[in-house]
């Protein structure tokens, strides 16, 4: 797929932003996969390699939150735990368009798409202190994102879209369920934490195709 992507001379760039909500999937809080609770926002730069493939560099932020009091599970509801963590996420990945999406053609384009890549993010890592209280460190780890969306490009150089992106993280301690040396355990120790971004994107595309067949040819 990468060889096919880079075999094209088409180049056009996008600079844009994301605005929506986030929700946590773990051992605390709701059990719904898509249930935005806190504001999430970010920015991205995209290189449209050809009409099917794009490379994307992104940054996203949210104050991730989960509360057992909002869960429909009786066990979680009566346990009544809650957690929160600021998430600073840096991502790099590839986007695949299901329909041709040639931004060099002066007409409206639209297509569903999928996105895969790799994220590096910070979160509030919980630990048990010597006085048996919970302490916090800022930790960094990786996540594997997968997103699906739909976007529309207009002739005035703007693109709007809607996207749902789920992240599988390489930690089980965003909710504090994997703290070391604790006198109690809860949750599933064999399942890492997930989080989801759901929202809208807006971008401005620019740049000319480096060939003689563009714009009126």
Q: How far apart are CA 128 and CA 43, in angstroms?
A: 35
Q: Cite the beta strand spans of 29-105 per DSSP E.
A: 38-48, 53-67, 82-97
Radius of gyration over alpha carbons of the chain, in Å? 20
Output the pTM of the full model.
0.86
Identify which of 34-38, 50-54, 132-136, 164-168 has the greatest average pLDDT: 164-168
Q: Cite the beta strand spans of the chain per DSSP E.
A: 12-25, 38-48, 53-67, 82-97, 109-128, 134-153, 158-169, 194-206
Reduced to 3 states (helix: H, G, I; strand: E, B; else coil), residue 57 is strand
pLDDT category at 6 given cuts 50, 70, 90 is: very low
Lowest-confidence pick of 41-45, 83-87, 140-144: 83-87
| % residues pLDDT > 90 (the chain) | 56
**CA count, 13 A, side-chain hemisphere, 62:** 23
pLDDT at 209: 59
* Residue 163: Cβ within 10 Å count: 18
């Amino acid at each position: 797929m990468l060889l096919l992507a880079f075999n094209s001379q088409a180049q056009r760039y996008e600079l844009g932003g994301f605005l929506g909500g986030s929700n946590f999937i773990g051992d605390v809080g709701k059990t719904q996969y898509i249930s935005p609770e806190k504001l999430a926002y970010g920015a991205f730069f995209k290189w449209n390699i050809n009409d099917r493939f794009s490379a994307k560099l992104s940054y996203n932020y949210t104050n991730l939150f989960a509360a057992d009091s909002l869960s429909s599970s009786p066990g979680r509801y009566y346990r009544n735990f809650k957690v929160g963590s600021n998430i600073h996420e840096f991502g790099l990945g590839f986007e695949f368009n299901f329909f041709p999406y040639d931004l060099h053609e002066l007409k409206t384009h639209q297509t569903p798409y999928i996105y895969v890549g790799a994220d590096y993010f910070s979160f509030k890592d919980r630990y048990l202190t010597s006085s048996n209280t919970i302490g916090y460190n800022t930790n960094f780890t990786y996540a594997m994102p997968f997103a699906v969306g739909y976007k529309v490009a207009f002739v005035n150089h703007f693109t709007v879209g809607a996207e749902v992106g789920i992240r599988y993280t390489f930690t089980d301690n965003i909710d504090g369920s994997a703290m070391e040396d604790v006198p109690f355990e809860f949750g599933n120790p064999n399942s890492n934490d997930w989080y989801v971004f759901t929202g809208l994107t807006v971008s401005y595309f620019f740049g000319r195709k480096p060939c003689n067949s563009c714009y009126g040819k």
